[in-house]
């Protein structure tokens, strides 16, 4: 355990698995009180218990981010758990859509991804960032994606939501930066979460990146830690790609 985030409280949405739980572990290991959030109570309580067993401090807040009412309830619960002084918000929760032509997307798929991937972080940031601004400090990290940077066939819906996240980061940096709140984005490339540990599309994509490997979730989490720590005090509105070099060479593929 180290203490770069000692005394700070961090809400990490979608932190009951995948990249989110890795972020929760890294922030807790640095001394933050981590508010673990997700839909599955059993998984969330297990993650929070694991953080506590490792010497950290964690509280589970159940949240289904598909409705505005639930998002507002989460914001209130987070402020209560943080004694009214939330320091860090990581907008990580997101839904994926199966690759398919745009014309085959259903209304239900479109509505669900827009609600969780765009509306939820907009509401959470709008509810929680003003408190940070009033105190003159805070850090928000949004999880974008290389899909939001590059055109990919069959990914119109998901890519649109992530491109929106990248744009929101810039707008929020302009809105909240003057009051001391730093807002930035991480854009992960192929990442070996449990869901994609044996994915043929991931293997194909990895073959095109300079590093020739996928990221571990902990590497994404390390980038989040950097952006929320005092090491990044004058970084505002940036998108940091953690993708093995994919975004640097995407216009010229290597063999």
Report residue 96 as tokens: 């994926």
3-state secondary structure of 108: helix
- What would you report as the CA-atom Rg of the chain, rounded to the nearest whole angstrom? 17
- In the numeric block, the tokens 């809400």 are attached to 11
How far is 112 from 29, CA to CA, in rounded Å? 33
Cα atoms in the 13 Å half-sphere on the side-chain side of 153: 1
Of these residues, 60, 158, 172, 246, which one is catalytic? 158
How far is 216 from 16, CA to CA, in rounded Å? 16
246 catalytic residue (yes or no): no
Characterize the bridge pairing of strands 33-38 and 138-143: unpaired
For the annotated catalytic residues, the residue numbers are 158
């Amino acid at each position: 355990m180290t203490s770069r985030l000692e005394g700070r409280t961090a809400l990490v949405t979608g932190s009951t698995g995948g990249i989110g739980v890795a972020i929760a572990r890294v922030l807790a290991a640095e001394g933050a009180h981590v508010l673990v959030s997700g839909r599955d109570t059993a998984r969330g309580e297990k993650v929070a218990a694991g953080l506590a067993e490792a010497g950290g401090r964690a509280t589970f807040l159940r949240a289904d981010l598909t409705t505005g009412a639930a998002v507002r309830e989460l914001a209130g619960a987070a402020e209560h758990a943080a004694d009214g002084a939330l320091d860090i918000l990581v907008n990580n929760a997101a839904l994926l859509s199966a690759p398919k032509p745009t014309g085959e997307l259903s209304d239900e798929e479109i509505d669900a991804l827009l609600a969780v991937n765009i509306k939820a972080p907009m509401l959470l940031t709008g509810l929680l960032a003003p408190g940070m601004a009033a105190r003159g400090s805070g850090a928000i990290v949004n999880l974008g994606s290389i899909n939001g940077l590059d055109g990919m066939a069959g990914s119109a819906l998901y890519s649109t939501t992530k491109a929106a996240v990248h744009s929101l980061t810039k707008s929020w940096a302009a809105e909240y930066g003057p009051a001391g709140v730093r807002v930035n984005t991480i854009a992960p490339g192929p990442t070996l979460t449990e869901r994609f540990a044996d994915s043929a599309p991931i293997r194909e994509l990895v073959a095109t990146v300079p590093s020739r490997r996928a990221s571990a979730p902990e590497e994404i989490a390390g980038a989040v830690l950097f952006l929320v720590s005092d090491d990044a005090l004058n970084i505002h509105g940036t998108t940091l790609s953690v993708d093995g070099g994919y975004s640097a060479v995407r216009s010229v593929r290597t063999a």
